[in-house]
Amino acid sequence: MDSDMQVSEPSAKYMVKAEEYQQPEAGIIPHEWTVKRLGEIVTFQRGFDLPHRNRKSGDYPIVTSSGFEEFHNEYRAKAPGVVTGRYGTIGQVFLVATDYWPLNTTLYVRDFHGNDPNFISHLLRTVDFHSHSGKSGVPGVNRNDLHEIKTAYPADIAEQQAIATALSDTDALIDALEQLLAKKRQVKQGAMRELLTGEKRLAGFHGEWAIKILGDCLSNPPEYGINAPAVDFSDQLPTYIRITDITDDGEFRPNPKVSVKTHNLEQYTLKQGDILFTRTGASVGKSYLYTKKDGPLIFAGFLIRVRAKQEELLPEFLFALTKTENYWKWVTVMSMRSGQPGINGNEYKQLPIPVPSIEEQAAIAAILSDMDTDITELETRLGKVRQVKQGMMRELLTGRTRLA
């Protein structure tokens, strides 16, 4: 992990006092907690209009229903503040640490009635705003409707602050991991830009790169997948990979996983080193490098498979090239034709690719693969911490788990 951004896991300790619970209409809560209307806990106020022509650069953030937009030289609400969307983007809650201008698309907390603002910001994240939004047109919420929502909460300010601190510490960890992930992705993009163009050479490698077309580097012509409908997933049938199962980053992420009925297993089964290209629609140009960890896969008809001559072009190197700016510029130009955007197999064969020696390809691919591994591990860790945060909110903001 980068030494300039150390992050640690949540360390809050909990204890449960199971014998001290009551069961009012809002559900089982601790005896020290109470159930009140939201309007008795806080008072919402509609934000203020501020046309763009009247905005002047300053130090006070303008808070919209989507978050922080820009800065103004005046404020209308004192810090700390809690803001949520009034219409349009609803359901998000923002804690504001400085004096600010809440825009008229928002509701802000005008009065906390002695409650901890940080705790309130977390409590409001448990409110289902969409169930109180308008039935037609642009989604919106009315402050009077929100004021009538009943919720359980601890009146003890010390417990509110303890809960808020535990959740905020986890938010800080999530924010640190997100920043570190963004940094690693930027570093990888920079490495790809330099290494995959020959702008920067690895130690020990010299000589000019050749510019070839993809078709000259393939062991056989591009192949189209099977035209068959997907069926519900079954362990007794092959797993299907379609355009929608491939992420923009080239990962196999089906939601849900599906199968396909076919007698042509050998013809359409992916093998190590196979690369798929999407050939039509808005996602044209996406690519996927098959890996055995994804299990046996049959590829669908709107995908094109290519197999490189691995003595000339490594699949890992080719796959990396499909993530570069130059590749996507080529996709944009090639897919510009009447009707549905698309690139067919013969057109993919015309893709120009810079080709260094096979040894340099392997070295570059290894570096980028290591970066991918770091990014994947960090994404996994971030996902787990987000799950921890959801669990903490579910436990701490209902009183089912009490802080020690």
C-beta of residue 97 within 8 angstroms of C-beta of residue 172: no
Write the DSSP assignment of 172-186 as a string of letters: HHHHHHHHHHHHHHH
C-beta of residue 164 within 8 angstroms of C-beta of residue 116: yes
pLDDT along the chain (404 residues), means of 10: 52 48 72 93 96 94 94 96 91 95 96 97 91 68 91 95 96 97 96 94 94 97 95 94 94 95 90 96 94 94 96 97 95 80 94 97 97 95 96 93 84
CA angle centred on 306, ends 302 and 310, rounded to 5°: 165
**Quick one: which of 299, 218, 206, 212 has its CA closest to 252?**
299
C-beta of residue 166 within 8 angstroms of C-beta of residue 396: yes
3-state secondary structure of 2: coil
> What does the pLDDT read at residue 13?
47
> What does the pLDDT read at residue 1?
41
DSSP state of 56: -
> What does the pLDDT read at residue 9?
60
Cross-strand pairs, 298: 240, 269
Cβ count within 10 A of residue 354: 16
Cβ count within 10 A of residue 350: 12
State both tokens at 370. 């290591």
Cross-strand pairs, 80: none
Write the DSSP assignment of 327-350 as a string of letters: HHHHHHHHT-SSSS-B--HHHHTT
Pairing of β 106-111 and β 275-278: unpaired
State both tokens at 161. 């602050």
State the Cα–Cα distance between residues 59 and 10, nearest whole angstrom: 33
